[in-house]
Amino acid sequence: MTDLKQSYSVRLNDGHFMPVLGFGTYAPDHTPKSQAAEATKVAIDVGFRHIDSAYLYQNEEEVGQAIWEKIADGTVKREDIFYTTKLWATFLRPELVRPALESSLKKLGLDYVDLFIIHVPFAMKAGEELLPKNASGEIILETVDLCDTWEALEKCKDAGLTKSIGVSNFNHKLLELILNKPGLKYKPTCNQVECHPYLNQSKLLEFCKSKDIVLVAYSALGSQRDPQWVDPDSPHLLEEPILKSIAKKHSRSPGQVALRYQLQRGVVGLAKSFSEKRIKENFQIFDFELTPEDMKAIDGLNRNLRYDKLQFAANHPYFPFSEEY
């Protein structure tokens, strides 16, 4: 295997490097967790070096095991892998941050992660339940000062438990809250948000670039439409005729075009698939280029369509989607 470390990577504002294409490991509850392990091994075999998971996904034991098997068989070394985990909403209180990361590390069998990010800006009731609900079935939210949470992440970086720290599902106002924090030690390196041709986040991308924050795209291929989070009637991105015609012109798949689009606008794309054929296909995006006309046509597909609306948190003071960007 050639060392892909620098060639297809972006430099973060803390000096570390993030591969520009990542493998997403989230799967709906009904998917056996063992599939996450198998898919992660295939992903590493075909060339993925950036692996994205989270405490919420409840698959870190399997993903960690896959990484270790690939280290054991000589495919990669630990330092070749860029591994991301996320701080779930029930652990945003500052005193819970480090124990949450340590819990992920223990499951993974790793002594550090490459990136630790705040999964969502709004806190849920602290405790072991992933989605704490009241008697009427509504998720119980609470307010934790994000600046306090951020300080706890900074301490995790100083302790060597993570190389880099960042956020997810933040709008520009929430990013400013952190950036303007008195005594800020480290800026967020990235903001991971839903981003695809139907929701291209051009304003947020421009803002992030101006602050030297990398935008990382989840649902870059549309969404896997987990009914727990996503409306089953939402349109299928990969069926989009314009994507299909551009794909046909380049003898590529619509998914490859959607990922290449992100790459060319300076966005790090996450590709989630548990199918061996598509995992391979999703990595083959470094040997073709979209023309300026292609890029413009794809830009024109933007319709601010959000698959993952997080509507249950709409009344929270840190709800991220009431702002334009």
What secondary structure letter does DSSP report for 116? E
State yes or no: pLDDT of 5 exceeds 50. Answer: no
- Tokens representing residue 26 in the block: 């989230």
State yes or no: pLDDT of 1 exceeds 50. Answer: no
Q: Which of 284, 289, 286, 287 is nearest to 273 (CA)?
A: 284
pLDDT given at position 223: 79
Cα–Cα distance, 282 to 291 (Å, whole number): 19
Evaluate whether 124 touches 89 at the Cβ level (below 8 Å): yes
Burial string for 282-300 (b: 16+ CB within 10 Å, else e) reads bbebeeeebeeebbebbee
Residue bearing tokens 């952190």: 178
Residue bearing tokens 């967790």: 33
Section 262-282 average pLDDT: 97
Rounded to the nearest 10 degrees, the angle between the axes of helix 241-249 and helix 292-299 is: 170
- Tokens representing residue 186 in the block: 């480290």
- List Cα–Cα distances, 320 to 10, 19, 169, 171, 317, in angstroms: 26, 26, 7, 5, 9
Cα–Cα distance, 126 to 133 (Å, whole number): 11
Residue bearing tokens 């704490």: 132
Looking at 8, 26, 55, 57, which residue is catalytic? 57
> Where residue 282 falls among pLDDT bands split at 50, 70, 90?
very high
Considering only residues 27 and 106, tell me which one the structure prediction assigns the higher pLDDT. 106
What secondary structure letter does DSSP report for 184? -
Q: How does the average pLDDT of the chain come out, rounded?
A: 95
pTM over cut 0.75: yes
- Tokens representing residue 207 in the block: 């803002």
Cα–Cα distance, 156 to 94 (Å, whole number): 11
Section 238-252 average pLDDT: 97
pLDDT given at position 234: 87
Residue 119 is assigned to a ligand binding site: yes
pLDDT given at position 2: 38
> Where residue 7 falls among pLDDT bands split at 50, 70, 90?
low
pLDDT given at position 12: 98
- Specify which residues 164 forms β-bridges with: 115
Q: Considering the chain, what percentage of its residues have pLDDT values greater than 90?
A: 91
Cα–Cα distance, 214 to 234 (Å, whole number): 28
User: Where do the domains of the chain lie?
Assistant: 18-233+267-275
CA-derived radius of gyration, the chain:
19
Summarize pLDDT for 171-195 with one digit per residue, the tens.
999 999 999 999 999 999 999 999 9
Least confident of 132-146, 200-214, 227-241, 273-287: 227-241
State yes or no: pLDDT of 267 exceeds 70. Answer: yes
Q: How far is C-alpha 67 from the geometric centre of its chain's CA atoms?
A: 18
Considering only residues 7 and 99, tell me which one the structure prediction assigns the higher pLDDT. 99
Instruction: Judge whether 198 counts as a catalytic residue.
Output: no
Q: For domain 18-233+267-275, is the CATH number 3.50.50.60?
A: no
Q: Which of 290, 289, 288, 275 is nearest to 46 (CA)?
A: 275
Cα–Cα distance, 321 to 122 (Å, whole number): 12
State yes or no: pLDDT of 4 exceeds 50. Answer: no
> Where residue 149 falls among pLDDT bands split at 50, 70, 90?
very high
- Specify which residues 266 forms β-bridges with: none
Burial string for 167-202 (b: 16+ CB within 10 Å, else e) reads bbbbbbebbebbeebeeeebbbbbbbbbbbbbbbbe
State yes or no: pLDDT of 15 exceeds 50. Answer: yes
Summarize pLDDT for 48-98 with one digit per residue, the tens.
999 999 999 999 999 999 999 999 999 999 999 999 999 999 999 999 999
Q: Which amino acid is residue 8, in one-letter code?
A: Y
Instruction: Provide the 10 A C-beta neighbour count for residue 139.
Output: 16
DSSP-derived secondary structure for 197-218: TTB--HHHHHHHHHTT-EEEEE
- Tokens representing residue 232 in the block: 């089953």
